[in-house]
């Protein structure tokens, strides 16, 4: 999955011949999963139609502060547009527009939005080679860099003048690649490797039957996605579930039993920076597993159980540099039981769930958790979607390494 997925993008289009490339650029943003709003300068409509960009972006195109033909129309609020975006890109960025960006010459909606934006701003220069090398243009580059704007360098190639040289706007594919690489380099968990467990375990009774639980695995899968979205390399060890990660970068190791999860966790644990044990691992398993399906003969049936290995405690015993996060699902004396688990299993943080809380537990899209760290600092959270809870958990990891 592209790092652009879910990003809110403002594309500013200015009046240069390279504006024709923005149709492809919008399409590539949408294909990567981004939301795009286009702002065009009045001069740019001579090079590419608003209808084209509106159709491709699936949003109205903004050109003026208000619709001059409709006195009752709502004005285009440049402040709201600037606050909406995760980042802004101006492509093509003509010499004229860059000069306005540098000097605050706010004579159109695009520049007004640029001056209001609180997000990162990329710009892709496009002009003839002599203009590109002119001292005033070079001065604009320096000033924009000083302002914190990020230049996507122009490429060498054939120019509108018929000459060939530097000044050609970067191709849409190269613009997308540049932004993806830049965003990835700034992700807070880049370079970290995280192990996540998720889902139930199935403990065999015979070849047909098993002992399991109601865990769907959603909380663990959401954590894995959130960690990968923040740049981490993620290994997800998953019990039986129909779920798949949304982020293609997540490596999934599928297991069935508690013993298989134990083996997989110990295989990866030494190489990770963080382990998050969100799986609902069976505490007991049948002591003897029948080789053939057990026939329904007697009125009653007894299964002798034995304890499974405590995966989280075993990891706590051997951890070195790892940050170890566990989950506790309790029904009574929740805080005290969670504190005992922190000490017993050598955890850095525990995520407490109580089945007494409405909206929490297995098979629900929401969760209500309490964070308790190894110093017993308690942080109760509001009821949230599991996706939001996952982000909160991953943000705890980000804070640890900040």
The gap from C-alpha 365 to its chain's centroid, in whole angstroms, comes to 18
Choosing from 59, 213, 346, 395, which is the catalytic residue? 213
Residue 208 in tokens: 């047909």
Active-site residue flag, 59: no
On whether the CB atoms of residues 121 and 150 are closer than 8 A, the answer is yes
User: How buried is residue 58: exposed, middle or buried, by Cβ count under 10 Å (0-12/13-18/19+)?
Assistant: exposed
Could you tell me which residues are beta bridge partners of residue 285? 306
DSSP for residue 42: G
| DSSP helix/strand/coil, 223 | helix
Could you tell me which residues are beta bridge partners of residue 237? 197, 253
Could you tell me which residues are beta bridge partners of residue 8? 35
Distance CA 184, CA 233 (A): 12
Residue 253 in tokens: 């190791």
The gap from C-alpha 296 to its chain's centroid, in whole angstroms, comes to 50
Provide the strand spans (E) within 14-96.
35-40, 87-93
Q: 236, 282, 241: which is closest to 259 by C-alpha?
A: 282
DSSP for residue 134: S
User: How buried is residue 173: exposed, middle or buried, by Cβ count under 10 Å (0-12/13-18/19+)?
Assistant: exposed
Active centre residues (catalytic): 213
């Amino acid at each position: 999955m592209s790092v652009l997925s879910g990003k809110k993008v403002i594309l500013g289009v200015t009046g240069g011949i390279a504006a024709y490339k923005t149709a492809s650029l919008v399409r590539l943003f949408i294909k990567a999963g981004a939301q795009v709003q286009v702002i065009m300068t009045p001069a740019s409509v001579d090079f590419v139609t608003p209808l084209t960009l509106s159709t491709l972006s699936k949003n109205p195109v903004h050109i003026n502060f208000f619709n001059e033909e409709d006195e009752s129309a709502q004005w285009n609020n440049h402040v709201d547009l600037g606050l909406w975006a995760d980042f802004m890109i101006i492509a093509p960025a003509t010499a004229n527009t860059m000069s306005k960006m540098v000097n605050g010459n706010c004579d159109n909606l695009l520049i007004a939005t640029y001056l209001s934006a609180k997000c990162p701003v990329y710009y892709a220069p496009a002009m003839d080679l002599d203009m590109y090398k002119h001292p005033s243009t070079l001065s604009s580059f320096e000033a924009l860099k000083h302002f914190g704007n990020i230049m996507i360098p122009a490429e060498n190639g054939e120019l509108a003048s018929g000459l060939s040289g530097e000044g050609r706007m970067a191709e849409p594919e190269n613009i997308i690649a540049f932004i993806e690489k830049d965003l990835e380099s700034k992700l807070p968990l880049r370079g970290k490797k995280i192990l996540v467990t998720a889902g139930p375990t199935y403990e065999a009774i015979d070849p047909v039957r098993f002992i399991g639980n109601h865990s769907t695995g959603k909380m663990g899968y959401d954590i894995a996605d959130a960690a990968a979205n923040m740049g981490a390399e993620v290994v997800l060890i998953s019990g039986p579930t129909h779920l798949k990660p949304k982020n293609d970068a997540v490596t999934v190791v599928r297991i069935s039993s508690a013993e298989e999860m134990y083996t997989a966790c110990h295989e990866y644990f030494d190489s990770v920076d963080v382990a998050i044990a969100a799986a609902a691992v069976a505490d007991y398993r049948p002591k003897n597993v029948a080789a053939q399906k057990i026939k329904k003969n007697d009125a009653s049936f007894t299964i002798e159980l034995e304890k499974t290995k405590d995966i989280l405690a075993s990891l706590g015993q051997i951890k070195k540099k790892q940050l170890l996060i566990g989950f506790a699902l309790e029904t009574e004396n929740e805080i005290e039981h969670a504190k005992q688990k922190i000490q017993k299993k050598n955890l850095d943080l525990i995520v407490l769930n109580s089945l007494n809380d409405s909206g929490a537990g297995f098979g629900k899209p929401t969760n209500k958790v309490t964070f308790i760290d190894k110093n017993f600092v308690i942080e109760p959270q509001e009821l949230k979607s599991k996706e939001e809870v996952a982000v909160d958990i991953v943000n705890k990891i980000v804070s640890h390494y900040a």
